[in-house]
A and B are shown apart, each in its own frame.
Chain A
Amino acid sequence: MSSTPDQQLQSADLSNGRVVARLLGLCWRYPSQCLVILGLQVLLLTMGMLGILYTGVGVDVIGSAADAERESPRWPGGLAPPADWDTMSVVWLLAGFILLLALVRSYSNYLYNMRLARFAQDRIVAPLRSEIYEKLQRLSFRFFDQNASGSIINRVTGDVLMINLFMSQVMMQSIIMVVSLVIYIAIMATIHLPLTLACLATTPVMMGISIWFSARVRPLMTANRKTVDQLILNLSESIQGVHVIKSFGREPDIRDKFQGLNRRIRQEMRRIFAYVAFLSPSTSLLSEINLAVLLAYGGYLVFIGEISIGAGVVVFAGLLQQYAQQVSALSMIANLIQQSMVSARRVFEILDAPVEIVSDQQAERGHVFKGEVEFERVSFDFEGGATEPRARAIHDLSFKVKPGQVVALLGPLGSGKSTLMSLIPRFYDPTEGRVKLDGVDLRELALSEVRQNIGLVFQENFLFSMTVAQNIAFGHPGASREQIERAATIAAAHDFVMELPQGYDTIINESGVNLSGGQRQRLAIARAILRDPAILLMDDPTAAVDAETEHEILEALEGAIKGRTVFIASHKLSALVQADIILVLNRGRIMQVGSHRSLREQGGYYKAVAEVQLYDDDNLDLAGALAEAERASRAPEEAP
C-alpha cells in the first residue's frame, strides 16, 4: 500500500494557548480533587512559613531575656503568651509549637503527595493511555501507513508521561510559585514592606536569566539531539548491515564516520555545557545578593529599631532561601513547558484524528453472508479525493463475483491489487462508488460483522507472542480446541504444530522467529479460516517464501478455499491457474478479465507473464517475451 507522507494530522497547528487550555481542561474534569490538592499546597506553604517565623521569635525571646537593652519580641498577630510566663516556658512553648507545626505539615505533605500521585495516575495518565489505545485501534490504515510505529508507541508512553509531568510539575510548580510568592510577600510585608521590596528586587532578573537560558540552550540541545540520533542510526545500521561492511572490507571507513559524529557531539556538548553550567551559579549569586541587601538594609533597620534580629533578619534570611529555591525551579518549568507542549500536541493529534471508518449503528446484525461481492464504479485514492483521476489507486472499477468463486488478481507492483482487496473488509472506504456484500453497501452493515465474515491472509503475517492456539483463535478468543485443530488441519498446519515442543500451547517468539516462513503462513491461513468465513482474501501469500515453501502453502490453500469466495493476489502461475476469474490490473484499472483459458488466447500481459514463468523451456524466445510483456504493460497508457 502506498503512503502519502505529505498528509499531516490536523492538530499540529493547535495554538499554544489552545493546548494549555485543553490540558487544564483534562484536570478540571475533577474540580473538587483539584481544589483539595491546591488547598493542601496552600496549607503546606503557610505552615512552613509559620515555622520560620516562630524560630525568629524564639531567637528574639532568648535575646531579650539575655540582654535587657534589646527590645522585647514582637509576636505575629499580637498572639503573645501571658506576660507572667518565664523565658524558658515561652521557649518550650515555641519549640513545642514548631514541632507541632512540623508534625501537621509532614502529615499534610504526605497527603498532598499521595493525592497528587493518585490524581495524576488514576485520573490523567491511565485514562489518557486507554483512550489513546482505544482510539488507535479504530484508526484507519491510512494513519498507520503515514506514521512510523516507533513514533506511535512513543505517543502512548513517553508523550503521556510528559503530559503527566506538565500536570504535576509545570502546573503545580507554577501554582506553588504564585501562591508562595503571595504568601512570602504577605508575611514579609507584615514585618517590613520596604525591606521586602528591596530583597525581592532581583526576582525579575532571575526570571529573565531563566528564560534567556532556555531560549539559548534549547536550539543547541535540539541540534545535539539530532546529531545523537544520527550517531545511533549510524551505529544500528552498521550492525544491521555488518555483512555488507565486512564483505566489502569497509570497517575503517565506517569507523571514521562514527568517529566524526562522535567528535561532533563532543564539540556541541562543550558549547551547551558553557551555558548549562552558568544557570545554577547565576541564580544562587542573585539570591546571595538578596541576602546582602537584607544584611545591609535590614541591619540599618535593626539599628533604627524598626525590626528585630530574630523575627526580622533571621526570618527574612530563612524566607529568602526558600524563595530562591522556588524561583530556581523556573528554568526547569520553562524547559518542561516547551517539551510538554510538543508532547501534548502529539497526543492530541491521535485523539483528534478522524475515525474514517465508522460502523453503521442502525445496521441489522445476525446476517448470514453468502459471499457475493460487487464493485460498483469504485474509485479510490489515498489522498482522499483531491487528486486527478490518473493518480488514483483504483479507477472506476466494476465487477461482480458470485459466492464460491475464486478470483485471482494479477498486475505489476502498484497496479492496485492490495488496494482493491483492502476495500472489501472496509480498511478504507471508496472515494467514489460502492462496494457491496450480498447486494448491500458495506457502509450499511455492522463493521465488526463484515470483518468477522472475512478471512485475511497477508503477504507477511504478523503473529503475536501468544501460544499457537491463541494465535489461531485470534479473531475468536472463545473458540474451542476442536475448532482450532480443525482449522489447523485444513490449513495443513496440524502436523507441524504437533511436533512443536508444547504442541498448540507452544508460545511463539517475539516475531515468530522459531517458525519457518511456510509454517507462519500456514498458521495465518488457519487463523483466517477458523470462523469459517464466507470470503477469504489473500494478498500474495507466497510472496516472501522460496519455491519449496511455496509448494507447502499452495497445498494448505487448496483445503482453505473450498466453499468460499476467494480473492487472491499473486504473480505465481500455480496460484493463477486455479482461479475461476482472473482480473489483470494496471494503474488501478482492469486491463483483462477472463479465465486462464480465455486470457491465454487473448495474449497481452497475462500471456506474457505466463510465458515468462515458463521460459526455462529452451525454445522460448526470451527477448520476445520481454518485449511483449513491456508492450502489454504500457498499453493502457497509450490508449486512455
Chain B
Amino acid sequence: MNQAAAPGQAAISRQRGPAEPKQRPLDSGIFVRLFGYTRPYAALRNVLAGLALTRSVQLPVLAWILGEVIGGPISNRQPDALFWGVLGFLAFSVFVEVTFYFRSRLALQLGESVVHDLRAECFAHLHRMPMSFFHRTKLGTIISRLTSDIEALRTGVQNVLFISIVQLGQGIVSAIIMCWIDWALFLIVLAMAPGLYIMTDIFRHRLSKASRDVQESFSRVTASLAEAVNGIRVTQGFAREEVNAGLFRQLIQDHSRYNINMARASALYLPILDLNTQFFTGALLVIGAYRVLSPEIAMPLEDLIQFLFLAALFFQPVQVLGQQYNVALQAMAGAERVFRFLDTKPDWEDDPAAREVKLTTGQVEFRGVNFSYDGETPVLRDLSFTAPPGTTTALVGETGSGKSTILALVSKFYLPGGGELLFDGIPVEKITTQSLHRHLGVVQQQNFLFTGSVYDNIRFGRPEATEAEVWDCLDQLGCKDLIEQLPQSLATIVGEKGTGVSLGQRQLICFARALLPDPKFILLDEATSSIDAITELRLQNAMTMLLSGRTSFVVAHRLSTIRRADQILLLSHGRLVESGDHRSLLERNGDYAKLYRQFTDAAESVKNEL
C-alpha cells in the first residue's frame, strides 16, 4: 500500500530518453563527404598537409642533431665543430617552430572555415523545413546539431588528419634514422612496440567506457537538479527539502563513484606507460653496453646516445595516434548526425507549378479536407465550409477538436491530406508559400516575441515601415497609450521569452505586428492567459479593430468573441458538428446551445443577482 514511499526514485533510475551515441565507427562515406567540405579551401588544406609532412621529418632530425652534437663534437672535444653544431641546432629549431606555428594556425583556420560553412548550410536547411519538422523535433536536438555535433566535427577536421600525418611520419623517420645507425639495436626497440600498442588499446577502451558512465550519471544529476530548481516553489511550499536533499546526495555519491572509476582507469594506464619507457631505457643500457664493449661489434657510444633520444620520438605516435583515433570516432558520430540532418528531405516543398498570386477577394473554402499530423490519427475529417470575404469565423470545440489545425492549414504550415483548400478559388498548392504569407496576419496563442526592441518586433512583418506607420497602426488598435507607458516607449527592449513587457502589452504587440502589413486574412488564436479585466476589455476592442473588414479565423476562448463572429464552426474530433451565427445556433438548440449554457451558468447566476 505504500507505493508512494519514495518519490523521485523513478525519476532517478529512469533514463531521459535514449542517449545519443558519442562515437561511431569510421565510415569512408562520411569521411569523403567531410573531406569534400575542405575543397573550397583546397590551397589551405594542401599547404597544411605539406607543413605536416615537413614537421614529421623535422622532429626526428632535431633529435638527431642533438645526439650528433653530444656524441660528436662534445665527446670528441672539437670546439669549432661544437660552435657550428650548436648554431645549426638553433637555426633548425627556429625553422621547426615557425613550421609548427603555421601548421597549428592554418589547421585552426581550416577547422573554423569548415564549421562556418556547415553551420550556414544547416541553418539554411533548417528554415527550408516545413512546420511538421518543428512539430516532431525537439529544440534541444536541433541546437545540438549546430553546436556540439559541429564542434566534435571541428576537432576531427583540424586535428586528426594532420596530427596523424605528423606522428606517423615522425615514427617512420626516426625508425629510418635508427635503422641507419644500428639496425640490430633498432629491432630490439621495435620489439617493444606491439606491447605498448596492446596496452594503449586496452586502456583506451576502459577509459572511454568509464567516461561514458560518468557522462550518463552526470546527466542524471543535471536533470534532477533542473527539476529541483524549476519546482522550488512547490518543494518549499510542501516542505519537502529534506527528502529531496537525501535523494540528491545519493545521486551525487553515485556520480563520484563513477568519477573515481574513471580516475582508476587512467591512474593505471599512465604509470604503466611510464614503466614501459623506463624498462626500455634499462634494456637499451644493457644491450648497448654489450654492443659497445664487445670487440667484434664495437658500436660507438655516440650511437647509444642517439638511440636514447630517438626512441622517445618513435614511441610517441603509438600513444598519440590512439588518442586521435578516439577523437576521430567522436567526429564521425558528430558528422553522421549533422549529415543525417542535412539529408532530411522536407516533407513537402512548393509545387513547381505554384505561382505568385494576388488575392483580391479574400475568400477561403475548405472542400472535404482531411488531415493527419502523423499519417495515422485523423485530426480533420471531411471538413467543408466557406469563409466569405471580410467575415469572421470563430472556431469552437474541445481541446484536440482540430481548431488550431484549421489555422495551421490556412497558414500553409501543412498541406491538406485530402480534399481541397481554396483561396479565391485557387487551390493552396498552386500558390507559392511566400506570396500567400504576404496576405496573412497571424496572432499565435503564445504571443512569441523576439529579443530586440518593441519597434522591431512590430515591424517584423514589414521591416521597411516607418515609425509614424507603427504609431498609426497602434492608434488604429486604440492602444497607443499602452506602448507609451513602456520605459523607452517603442525603443524598449524585449528580453528572452518576452520579459520587459507585460502580458497585455505582449498581446498588443502581436496584434500590431499582424496588422502592420495590412493583410487580407487574419488568423488569430486567442490567448487564454489571464490579464486584469480592464486591460482585457481594451484588448478585446483592439481585436475587433484588427478583425474588421478582413477574412478572419479565430480560435475563440471568450464568449464575447464567439458571439460577435459572423460564422461559428463547432468542431468535435475533427468533424464539423454545427455552423451558423450565434443567434441561429441558439435557436437550433443543439450542441452549441448546450455548450453555451454550460459556459454561462456561473455568469447567469451572477447576472440574476445583479
Asked if B228 is an interface residue, CB under 8 A from chain A, the answer is yes
CB distance from B255 to the nearest CB of A (A): 8
Which of B3, B289, B504, B531 contacts A505 (CB under 8 A)? Answer: B3
Asked if A465 is an interface residue, CB under 8 A from chain B, the answer is yes
Residues of A within 8 A of B229 (CB): 136, 144, 149, 152-153
Do the beta carbons of A484 and B4 come within 8 Å of each other?
A: yes
Within 8 A of A (CB), among B234-263: 234-241, 243-245, 248-249, 252-253, 255-256, 259-260, 263
Asked if B109 is an interface residue, CB under 8 A from chain A, the answer is yes
Do the beta carbons of A295 and B109 come within 8 Å of each other?
A: no
Residues of B within 8 A of A98 (CB): 278, 281-282, 285
Which of B233, B305, B605 contacts A458 (CB under 8 A)? Answer: B233
Query: Which of A15-23, A121-129, A172-180, A199-207 makes up part of the contact surface?
Result: A121-129
Do the beta carbons of A613 and B603 come within 8 Å of each other?
A: yes
Do the beta carbons of A475 and B533 come within 8 Å of each other?
A: no
CB distance from A283 to the nearest CB of B (A): 9
Which of B131, B230, B289, B558 contacts A62 (CB under 8 A)? Answer: B289
Within 8 A of A (CB), among B464-523: 496, 502-504, 513, 517, 523
Cα separation A459 to B264 with both chains bound (whole Å): 49
Which of A87, A141, A317 contacts B233 (CB under 8 A)? Answer: A141
Do the beta carbons of B559 and A102 come within 8 Å of each other?
A: no
Do the beta carbons of B105 and A273 come within 8 Å of each other?
A: yes
Cα separation A113 to B261 with both chains bound (whole Å): 11
Do the beta carbons of B89 and A292 come within 8 Å of each other?
A: yes
Using known A-B contacts A281-B98, A292-B86, A571-B530, determine if residue A258 contacts B123 with beta carbons closer than 8 Å: yes
Which of A87, A113, A129, A456 contacts B267 (CB under 8 A)? Answer: A113
Using known A-B contacts A59-B304, A129-B252, A551-B598, determine if residue A462 contacts B230 with beta carbons closer than 8 Å: yes
Query: Which of A296-304, A379-387, A395-403 makes up part of the contact surface?
Result: A296-304
CB distance from B198 to the nearest CB of A (A): 17
Asked if A612 is an interface residue, CB under 8 A from chain B, the answer is yes
Do the beta carbons of B252 and A130 come within 8 Å of each other?
A: yes
Asked if B231 is an interface residue, CB under 8 A from chain A, the answer is yes
Do the beta carbons of A113 and B266 come within 8 Å of each other?
A: yes
Cα separation A272 to B101 with both chains bound (whole Å): 13
Asked if A181 is an interface residue, CB under 8 A from chain B, the answer is no
Cα separation A288 to B92 with both chains bound (whole Å): 10
User: In the complex, what residue of chain B is closest to A164 when comparing beta carbons?
Assistant: B259
Do the beta carbons of B609 and A597 come within 8 Å of each other?
A: yes
Do the beta carbons of B603 and A573 come within 8 Å of each other?
A: yes
Cα separation A630 to B83 with both chains bound (whole Å): 96
Do the beta carbons of B112 and A270 come within 8 Å of each other?
A: yes
Residues of A within 8 A of B563 (CB): 616
Which of A157, A298, A626 contacts B222 (CB under 8 A)? Answer: A157
Asked if B47 is an interface residue, CB under 8 A from chain A, the answer is no
User: In the complex, what residue of chain A is closest to B598 when comparing beta carbons?
Assistant: A551
CB distance from A281 to the nearest CB of B (A): 4
Query: Which of B367-375, B432-440, B573-581 makes up part of the contact surface?
Result: B432-440
Asked if B279 is an interface residue, CB under 8 A from chain A, the answer is yes
When each residue 492-535 of chain A gets 1 if its CB lies under 8 Å from chain B and 0 otherwise, what string results?
Answer: 00000000000011010010000010000000000100000000
User: In the complex, what residue of chain B is closest to A609 when comparing beta carbons?
Assistant: B533
Residues of A within 8 A of B77 (CB): 302-303
CB distance from B302 to the nearest CB of A (A): 9
Do the beta carbons of B285 and A94 come within 8 Å of each other?
A: yes
Using known A-B contacts A101-B278, A289-B93, determine if residue A262 contacts B120 with beta carbons closer than 8 Å: yes
Cα separation A291 to B97 with both chains bound (whole Å): 14
Do the beta carbons of A302 and B228 come within 8 Å of each other?
A: no
Within 8 A of B (CB), among A468-487: 469-482, 484
User: In the complex, what residue of chain B is closest to A318 when comparing beta carbons?
Assistant: B308
Residues of B within 8 A of A475 (CB): 237-240
Do the beta carbons of A451 and B413 come within 8 Å of each other?
A: no
Cα separation A247 to B410 with both chains bound (whole Å): 10
CB distance from A238 to the nearest CB of B (A): 7
Using known A-B contacts A107-B271, A600-B609, determine if residue A571 contacts B533 with beta carbons closer than 8 Å: yes
Cα separation A613 to B536 with both chains bound (whole Å): 10
Do the beta carbons of A255 and B270 come within 8 Å of each other?
A: no
User: In the complex, what residue of chain B is closest to A121 when comparing beta carbons?
Assistant: B256
Do the beta carbons of B557 and A546 come within 8 Å of each other?
A: yes
When each residue 300-320 of chain A gets 1 if its CB lies under 8 Å from chain B and 0 otherwise, what string results?
Answer: 101100000100011001000
CB distance from A429 to the nearest CB of B (A): 14
Which of A134, A237, A284, A298 contacts B451 (CB under 8 A)? Answer: A237
Asked if B293 is an interface residue, CB under 8 A from chain A, the answer is yes
Cα separation A110 to B203 with both chains bound (whole Å): 14
Cα separation A637 to B66 with both chains bound (whole Å): 89
Do the beta carbons of B86 and A296 come within 8 Å of each other?
A: yes
Query: Which of B26-34, B67-75, B383-391 makes up part of the contact surface?
Result: B67-75
Q: Determine which residue in B225, B305, B610 has the highest number of CB atoms from chain A within 10 A of its CB, and name it.
A: B225
When each residue 278-294 of chain A gets 1 if its CB lies under 8 Å from chain B and 0 otherwise, what string results?
Answer: 10111011001101100
Cα separation A254 to B267 with both chains bound (whole Å): 50
Asked if A71 is an interface residue, CB under 8 A from chain B, the answer is no
Residues of B within 8 A of A107 (CB): 271
When each residue 253-274 of chain A gets 1 if its CB lies under 8 Å from chain B and 0 otherwise, what string results?
Answer: 1110011001101100110011
Asked if B1 is an interface residue, CB under 8 A from chain A, the answer is yes
Asked if B602 is an interface residue, CB under 8 A from chain A, the answer is yes
Within 8 A of B (CB), among A578-621: 596-597, 600, 608-617
Do the beta carbons of B14 and A507 come within 8 Å of each other?
A: yes
Do the beta carbons of B602 and A574 come within 8 Å of each other?
A: yes
18 A-B residue pairings within 8 Å (CB atoms) = A59-B285, A59-B308, A91-B285, A91-B286, A105-B274, A133-B228, A141-B236, A242-B131, A244-B450, A247-B442, A285-B97, A295-B86, A462-B231, A465-B10, A467-B4, A476-B238, A554-B602, A614-B606
**Lowest 7 CB-CB distances: which A-B pairs, in order?**
A475-B238, A102-B278, A117-B263, A574-B602, A113-B267, A277-B105, A470-B7
Known pairs A55-B285, A551-B599. 6 more at Cβ < 8 A? A117-B260, A141-B236, A239-B134, A462-B233, A467-B10, A481-B3
